[in-house]
Structures are given as C-alpha cells and as structure tokens.
Amino acid sequence: MLKFLRSLFGATQASLGGNSPVISGVGGNVSATYNFSPEIPEKLADYLLEQIRKIEGSLDQQHRAEFELNEKNKLLEELARKYQELEKRLAEEAPKNTLA
C-alpha cells in the first residue's frame, strides 16, 4: 500500500512546490497542511476496494479448500467405521465359517 500511496503523493521525500513547508529553527510542535487533488480520495477508495476484493477472493479459496478437506475427512471416518464393522463381523463369523 505504501507503494500506491507514494504513487499518489510522489515517490520521494523531497519537498518542492506549493505544498513545501519551510521549517527551520522550530522549538515546538510543527503542523503542515496540504491541499491534495480531489481525485486522491477516489483513487484511494478504488485501491482499497481492490485490495478488499483480493482478500475476499483469497478467503473464499481457503474456505473452499477447508470445506473439501472436511468432506474428505468425513469420508475417511466413514470408511474406517465400515472397516471396523467388517472386521467385527469377520471375527464373529470365523468360528462358524472356515473361509472367514
């Protein structure tokens, strides 16, 4: 975001032009007032919305991956339960059936 802000306000820290406060020998607090172009808030809002959309897209992908992982875990738990049931049935049948 810093890169974006620098593109709006200038990439250097040089102080030139009408927005250049001349400050020297100050013994107390200093404040500077800048007159920004009216399009800057709109550009900043557009940039922030773009970043929010990127984050939302990333979260959507994470949620989908988490959902798929949960579904696979459920399937594995079901298969493990069925396997245990089969083992139990096989152990019960073994004394009665030589093939078991």
pLDDT tier at 99 (50, 70, 90 boundaries)?
Answer: low
* Residue at 73: amino acid letter: N
The answer to whether 8 touches 43, Cβ cutoff 8 Å, is yes
pLDDT for 38: 77
Residue that wins the pLDDT comparison between 86 and 2: 86
Quote the CA–CA distance of 88 and 83 in Å, as a whole number: 9
Direct distance between the N- and C-terminal alpha carbons of the chain, in angstroms, rounded to an integer: 68
pLDDT for 54: 93
Quote the CA–CA distance of 67 and 59 in Å, as a whole number: 12
- Give per-residue pLDDT as tens, 8-63: 655 444 555 665 666 666 677 766 666 677 788 888 899 999 999 999 999 999 99
91 to 77, 82, 86, 97: CA distances (angstroms): 21, 14, 8, 10
- Give per-residue pLDDT as tens, 53-92: 999 999 999 999 999 999 999 999 999 999 999 999 988 8
pLDDT for 12: 44
